[in-house]
Amino acid sequence: MPSVSLSRENLGLLLGFIGMAIFGGTLPATRIAVSAIDPLAMTALRTAIAGLCALALLIALRRPLPPRRLWPQLAIAMLCVSIAFPFLMALGMQTVDASHGGVVLGILPIATALVAVAITHERPRPLFWIASLAGAALVIAFALRQGGGAISVGDIFLFAAVAVSSVGYAFSGKLTSHMPGWEVISWVLVMALPISLPISVLTMPADIGQIPVKPWLALLYVALFSQWIGFFAWNAGMAMGGIARVSQVQLLQPFITFALAAFFNDETITLQILLFAAAVVATVAISTRTRSRPIAPPHD
């Protein structure tokens, strides 16, 4: 039995790594897509494509509607994860490199933890707050340094993307206690269809035949993988390998983004970017390990 348990944990780690790697490709793919497709159109198309696929799967599996009491939480997650986050990220990717965005979004786990703390009324250790403030300061310092002493418009969009995504992820996390993670993201995308489908039609590029294949492939990637399938692997990995263990894999995500940005976007990854990313990752690791106070085990 120990070997079975170990193999299950290892499979969980593998699935978690696959999910993380998929998410690591989001920024490079988004930067390619917005080079030829308007950010609003790209966001609407991305969400609509993923939503239609999610609807087909939910119907095929005959999944019942979520309880009405969960609809407000699903609506919040939908507005944050499926609409605001991808739109703000697309706007940011118009003016900054994907590798730059990888450093800024590297603080997302800390922002999500802060929102979760507020929602659950946890009382983290002082070191959690110190690491969180240090991580935020590092990202701001990086943005200022890269922007020549000023925060760029692209950074403002990315900071806003971190804020709304942290809220969406926190509420999505709460919803996983009521249904599987893949079902949460699927219902979130289906709820967005009344918004994403009409906007997709209204903002469809007029010169659709003139758009190169590469931006279309990038759009399909963020729609099918970043927005939907990636959550299947990530959530399944955490369920099999344990949330605490598998979530640490996310610390590698900025470096996956750098590698993909260098390969697909021809970006130069400087030592400064790597050092700032490593420092941000260190603060994320400290904050995640010190978020909750230890709880005494129950007595039998």
Q: Tell which residue, 133, 141, 129, 131, has the closest CA to residue 103.
A: 141
- Quick: pLDDT tens for 255-296: 999 999 999 999 999 999 999 999 999 998 888 777 654 433
Other CB atoms within 10 A of residue 247 CB: 17
What's the pTM value of the predicted model, to 2 decimals? 0.88
Q: Does residue 240 register a pLDDT over 90? A: no
Please give the Cα distance from 91 to 265 (Å, whole number): 17
Please give the Cα distance from 215 to 207 (Å, whole number): 13
Looking at the chain, how many residues does it have?
300
Please give the Cα distance from 235 to 198 (Å, whole number): 30
Please give the Cα distance from 280 to 273 (Å, whole number): 11
pLDDT band at 2 (very low <50, low <70, confident <90, very high): low
Q: Does residue 198 register a pLDDT over 70? A: yes
> Encoding tokens for residue 79?
């507005």
Identify the pLDDT of residue 244: 58
Identify the pLDDT of residue 22: 95
- Quick: pLDDT tens for 77-132: 999 999 999 999 999 999 999 999 999 998 888 888 888 788 777 778 888 889 88
Mean pLDDT of 2-31: 84
Q: Give the torsion sign (CA, 170, 171, 177, 179).
A: negative
- Quick: pLDDT tens for 137-157: 999 999 999 888 888 999 999
The winner for highest mean pLDDT among 4-18, 23-37, 160-174, 205-219 is 23-37
Helix H, strand E, coil C: the string for the chain is CHHHHHHHHHHHHHHHHHHHHHHHCHHHHHHHHCCCCCHHHHHHHHHHHHHHHHHHHHHHCCCCCCCHHHHHHHHHHHHHHHHHHHHHHHHHCCCCCHHHHHHHHHHHHHHHHHHHHHHHCCCCCHHHHHHHHHHHHHHHHHHHHHCCCCCCHHHHHHHHHHHHHHHHHHHHHHHCCCCCHHHHHHHHHHHHHHHHHHHHHHHCCCCHHHCCHHHHHHHHHHHHHHHHHHHHHHHHHHHHHCHHHHHHHHHHHHHHHHHHHHHHCCCCCCHHHHHHHHHHHHHHHHHHHCCCCCCCCCCC
> Encoding tokens for residue 107?
């603080």
Q: How many alpha carbons lie under 13 Å from residue 287 in its C-beta half-sphere?
A: 26
Percent of the chain with pLDDT over 90: 59
Mean pLDDT of 216-241: 89
